[in-house]
């Protein structure tokens, strides 16, 4: 080998090493942000998109998505410092805040309700459920608030029916199919696979127009100690959600991978189209204080909350506003 070729190869090796070193240094500069989401469902692509592509890296973060079984566990992990943020029900955050928990709701990415009252086809009205079993979830959760609102709107009392806490959407759906429950609050995506003798008697968005499904929540400690990172995370969420609501195929792909859906499973596409059509996701992650106030009043009426709390103490609008300006730039 001539000296010239040896010099060229040596130079190439040095260049490769420098490039690799620069890439490694760039990766090291990204700050890890652990974000918890409730177990992925047929619309998971929206929630998971912040961990895709370079949405987080653009804002100096490396987002690690942590799936969690339910909202109660998510809030415990957040308050224990195991997570930097969570996507969960603001109702649960309000309840935690009412007990003095260091909770800060930043903004709400899922203002709409994708659930509804699912029943067997022989049930033609809410009144037909009198004395029957309705599958719900934990106190203060969406299924419970939704079913109470539906009963009230139809001039029925909670005592007119029997409630069964049957876990997540899939559990409640299976309970209805098996006849364990006569009805239940279930995500609308299951209508894509439901047999003909199952129907959605009351859509949730019609019964609870002011209900907010999910918000992005942090602790006051994180907001104060990692302020810039908190702003950058919300900015990354905004970028990711704007992308998700305009890129159908990619968002459905993320959902399919997350829930291990088969190619012929219609739920991811159904959930995506329903979400976009009904504007159930807010890419701007707005903080709707009027709706949060309505929610806590409902929790108070239901007996879950002793007294309404000062929302100013459990929200951090400055983080959202700073992120919006960052995205605007």
Which structure tokens are listed for 244?
């998700």
User: Same domain for 225 and 321?
Assistant: yes
- 3-state secondary structure (DSSP) of residue 328: helix
Which structure tokens are listed for 290?
């009027």
The pLDDT tens digits of the residues spanning 91-124 come to 889 999 999 999 999 999 999 888 999 999 999 9
Q: Are 42 and 257 in contact (CB under 8 A)?
A: no
**Residue where one domain finishes, among candidates 185, 207, 229:** 207
User: Same domain for 62 and 132?
Assistant: no
User: Same domain for 305 and 231?
Assistant: yes
User: Same domain for 234 and 318?
Assistant: yes
Identify the pLDDT of residue 24: 43
The partner residues of 297 in beta bridges, in order of sequence, read: none
User: Domain for residue 19, yes or no?
Assistant: no
User: Same domain for 105 and 222?
Assistant: yes
> How would you classify the pairing of strands 103-110 and 214-219?
antiparallel
> How would you classify the pairing of strands 31-38 and 85-88?
parallel
User: Same domain for 216 and 305?
Assistant: yes
Identify the pLDDT of residue 167: 80
Asked whether residue 13 carries a pLDDT value surpassing 50, the answer given is no
Tell me the mean pLDDT in the region 86-90: 93
Q: What percent of the chain has pLDDT over 70?
A: 91
User: Same domain for 163 and 136?
Assistant: yes
User: Domain for residue 257, yes or no?
Assistant: yes
User: Domain for residue 2, yes or no?
Assistant: no
User: Same domain for 107 and 219?
Assistant: yes
Tell me the backbone φ, ψ of residue 238, rounded to 5 degrees: -60, -45
User: Domain for residue 22, yes or no?
Assistant: no
User: Same domain for 189 and 247?
Assistant: no
List CB contacts of 134: < 8 A, sequence separation 6 or more: 117, 147, 161, 162, 163, 164, 181, 182, 183, 184, 185
How many CB atoms sit inside 10 A of residue 327's CB? 18
DSSP line for 293-324: HHHHHHHHHTTS-SS---GGGSB-HHHHHHHH
DSSP line for 6-46: HHHHHHHHHHHHHHHHHHHHHHHHSEEEEEEEES--TTHHH
User: Domain for residue 16, yes or no?
Assistant: no
The CA–CA distances, whole Å, from 156 to 141, 162, 209 equal: 20, 12, 20
Q: What is the CATH number of the domain that holds 203?
A: 3.40.190.10
User: Domain for residue 21, yes or no?
Assistant: no
How many CB atoms sit inside 10 A of residue 321's CB? 14
> Domains in the chain: how many in total?
2
User: Same domain for 224 and 309?
Assistant: yes
> How would you classify the pairing of strands 85-88 and 61-68?
unpaired
User: Same domain for 155 and 217?
Assistant: no
Tell me the backbone φ, ψ of residue 166, rounded to 5 degrees: -120, 30
Q: What percent of the chain has pLDDT over 90?
A: 72
Q: Are 299 and 95 in contact (CB under 8 A)?
A: yes
Structural domain for 139, as ranges? 115-207
Half-sphere exposure for 8 (CA within 13 Å, toward CB)? 5
> How would you classify the pairing of strands 183-187 and 133-136?
parallel
For the chain, helix, strand, coil in percent to 5 are 50, 20, 30
The pLDDT tens digits of the residues spanning 247-305 come to 999 999 999 999 999 999 999 999 999 999 989 999 999 999 999 999 899 888 878 88
User: Domain for residue 25, yes or no?
Assistant: no
**Distance between CA atoms of residues 95 and 309, nearest Å:** 9
**Distance between CA atoms of residues 63 and 214, nearest Å:** 19
User: Same domain for 125 and 239?
Assistant: no
The CA–CA distances, whole Å, from 183 to 129, 142, 204 equal: 8, 15, 14
User: Domain for residue 7, yes or no?
Assistant: no
């Amino acid at each position: 080998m001539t000296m010239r070729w040896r010099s060229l190869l040596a130079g190439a090796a040095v260049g490769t090493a420098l490039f690799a070193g620069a890439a490694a240094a760039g990766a090291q500069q990204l700050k890890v942000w652990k974000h918890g989401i409730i177990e992925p469902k047929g619309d998971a692509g929206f929630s998971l998109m912040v961990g895709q592509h370079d949405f987080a890296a653009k804002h100096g973060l490396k987002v690690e998505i942590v799936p969690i079984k339910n909202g109660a566990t998510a809030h415990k992990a957040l308050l224990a410092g195991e997570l930097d943020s969570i996507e969960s029900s603001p109702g649960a955050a309000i309840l935690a805040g009412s007990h003095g928990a260091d909770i800060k709701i930043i903004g709400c990415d899922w203002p709409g309700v994708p659930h509804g009252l699912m029943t067997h086809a022989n049930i033609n009205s809410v009144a037909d459920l009198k004395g029957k079993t309705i599958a719900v979830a934990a106190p203060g959760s969406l299924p419970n608030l939704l079913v109470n609102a539906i009963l009230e709107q139809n001039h029925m009392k909670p005592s007119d029916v029997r409630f069964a806490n049957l876990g997540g959407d899939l559990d409640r759906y299976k309970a209805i199919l098996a006849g364990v429950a006569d009805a239940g609050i279930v995500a609308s995506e299951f209508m894509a696979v439901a047999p003909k003798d199952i129907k959605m008697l009351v859509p949730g968005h019609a019964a609870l127009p002011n209900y907010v499904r999910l918000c992005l929540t942090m602790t006051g400690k994180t907001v104060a100690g990692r302020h810039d990172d908190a702003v950058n995370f919300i900015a990354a969420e905004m970028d990711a959600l704007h992308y998700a609501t305009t890129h159908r195929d990619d968002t459905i792909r993320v959902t399919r991978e997350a829930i291990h859906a088969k190619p012929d499973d219609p739920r991811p596409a159904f959930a995506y189209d329903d979400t976009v059509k009904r504007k159930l996701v807010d890419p701007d992650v707005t903080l709707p204080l009027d709706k949060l106030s309505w929610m806590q009043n409902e929790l108070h009426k239901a007996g879950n909350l002793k007294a309404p709390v000062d929302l100013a103490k459990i929200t951090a609008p400055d983080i959202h506003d700073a992120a919006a300006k960052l995205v605007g730039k």
